């Protein structure tokens, strides 16, 4: 695939780049999937309590004030904010409905004329049909995740809720987790066929782990290779996927965007890559200008949920919900200068945050970012 010097999302009116507010509203989950790490910094932790309602409502005010600082620095054409309410399992929070109602109220009262908000949720959709009917009007876009490990009854409830969301006219995407175990992989493939039959947009997702238990055998690698090539445009290069070993950790080689975006390499806007190499150590990255991650359970605030890079070249939070005023003040001061702080990545792999424009050299990065700033 070669060694590009910069990467940015391809221009796509149907999947424009915006600012993603990732709000991890609870760590509790009603599932316990094998691929999902447990613990405070895993994907779920059922030993924790749901954060209290009042704390969640306070967070809404901070999040919108923070993102508003960045929106003022962007061209009007990209003043789009996506609030992703997730967990654990976001819809499992006992106060999810009043929380979502408050989200809309604060936005309408203070920010509706400044930038566009899309409220999304990432959910396993395993909730009662009655509860789902109350939630649907409060969500603009659903990302539902299909898990082959679920029981037959859970899978049926999942499909029923998907169809209710689809019939409501709300935007919907099904992320199908592609487990490496043979029978589970086949079940996930069957789900792609179900989505095709029911005209549901879907994204088969390789599991980014961490553990050889999730490595893919050669036949599965070939399946991914065909998928990624079919979703790229005007790209002649061959993906360098190893076929001479029993199993492969695809994350070591590359990955697709979580949101299904395509990429342009080296500012070649005539070609779009659905799958790119995953090697960006020491690259300069704009992840802070397109992401914010809030961990409600302990109050930590990060630039991004996966990389968690801060402005000191370290992996760590940039603030805490216990003192949001300090973070708002420091961010406002930083954005008011010509020399904005730039994150230089120290991670070996890029997961969420892959779509943030990034470059190997600082001067290239600064030129690349001109179109994203005013």
Give 329-364 pLDDT, tens digit per residue: 999 998 988 778 889 999 988 888 999 999 999 999
Mean pLDDT of 295-320: 96
Pairwise CA distance, residues 107 & 95, whole Å: 19
Average the pLDDT over 177-185 and give the result.
94
- Give the model's pLDDT for residue 237: 55
For 117-133, write each residue's pLDDT tens digit: 999 999 999 999 999 99
According to the model, what pLDDT value does residue 221 have? 86
For 337-357, b/e burial (b = at least 16 CB within 10 A) is eeebeebbbebebbebbbbbb
**CATH fold for domain 17-218+284-354:** TIM Barrel (3.20.20)
Residue 1 has what pLDDT? 46
Distances (CA, A) of 20 to 16, 37, 71, 305: 11, 23, 12, 10
Q: Structural domain boundaries of the chain? A: 17-218+284-354
In whole angstroms, give the CA distance from residue 352 to residue 82: 14
Q: Residue 298: what pLDDT? A: 97
In the 3-class helix/strand/coil scheme, how is 289-341 assigned residue by residue? HCEEEEECCCCEEECCCCCCECCCCCECCCEEHHHHHHHHHHHHHHHCCCCCC
What pLDDT does 211 receive?
A: 57
pTM: 0.91
Q: How confident is the model at residue 251 (pLDDT cuts 50, 70, 90)?
A: confident
Question: Does residue 249 register a pLDDT over 90?
Answer: no
What value does the mean pLDDT take over residues 217-242? 77
Would the pLDDT of 74 be above 90? yes
Q: Give the pLDDT confidence score for residue 15 in this predicted structure.
A: 80
Q: Tell me what the pLDDT averaged over the chain comes to.
A: 91
For the segment 19-48, the average pLDDT, to the nearest whole number, is 93
> Would you state the pLDDT for residue 337?
82
Q: What is the pLDDT of residue 222?
A: 86
pLDDT at position 240 is 61
**Residue 245 pLDDT > 80:** no
Q: What is the tens place of the pLDDT at every residue in 140-158?
A: 999 999 999 999 999 999 9
- Which one is predicted more confidently, 12 or 293? 293
| Pick from 102-106, 205-209, 219-223: least confident | 205-209
């Amino acid at each position: 695939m070669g060694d590009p010097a910069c990467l940015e999302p391809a221009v796509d009116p149907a999947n424009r780049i915006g600012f993603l507010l990732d709000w991890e509203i609870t760590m509790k989950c009603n599932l316990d999937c094998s691929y999902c790490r447990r613990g405070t910094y895993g994907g779920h932790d059922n030993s924790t309590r749901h954060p209290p309602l009042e704390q969640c409502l306070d967070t809404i005010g901070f999040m919108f004030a923070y993102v508003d600082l960045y929106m003022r620095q962007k061209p009007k054409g990209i003043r789009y904010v996506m609030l992703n309410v997730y967990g654990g399992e976001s819809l499992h929070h006992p106060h999810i409905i009043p929380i979502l109602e408050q989200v809309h109220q604060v936005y309408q009262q203070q920010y509706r004329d400044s930038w566009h908000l899309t409220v999304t949720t990432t959910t396993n959709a395993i909730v009662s049909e009655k509860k789902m009917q109350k939630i649907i009007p409060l969500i603009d876009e659903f990302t539902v995740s299909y898990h082959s490990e679920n029981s037959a009854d859970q899978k049926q409830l999942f499909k029923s809720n998907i169809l209710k969301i689809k019939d409501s006219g709300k935007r919907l995407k099904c992320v199908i987790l592609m487990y490496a175990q043979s029978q589970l992989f086949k079940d996930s493939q069957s789900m792609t066929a179900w989505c095709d039959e029911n005209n549901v947009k879907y994204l088969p997702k390789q599991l980014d782990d961490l553990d050889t238990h999730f490595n893919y055998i050669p036949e599965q690698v070939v399946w991914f290779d065909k998928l990624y090539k079919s979703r790229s445009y005007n790209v002649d290069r061959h993906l360098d996927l190893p076929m001479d070993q029993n199993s492969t950790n695809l994350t070591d080689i590359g990955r697709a965007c979580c949101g299904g975006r395509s990429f342009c390499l080296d500012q070649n806007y005539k070609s779009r890559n659905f799958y790119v190499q995953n090697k960006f150590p020491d690259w300069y990255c704009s992840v802070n200008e397109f992401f914010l991650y809030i961990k409600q359970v302990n109050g930590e605030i990060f630039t991004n949920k996966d990389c968690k890079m801060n402005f000191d070249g370290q992996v760590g939070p940039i603030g805490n919900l216990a003192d949001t005023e300090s973070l708002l003040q420091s961010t406002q001061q930083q954005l008011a200068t010509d020399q904005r702080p730039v994150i230089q990545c120290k991670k070996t792999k890029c997961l969420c945050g892959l779509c943030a424009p990034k470059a190997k050299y600082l001067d290239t990065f600064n030129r690349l970012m001109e179109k994203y700033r005013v």
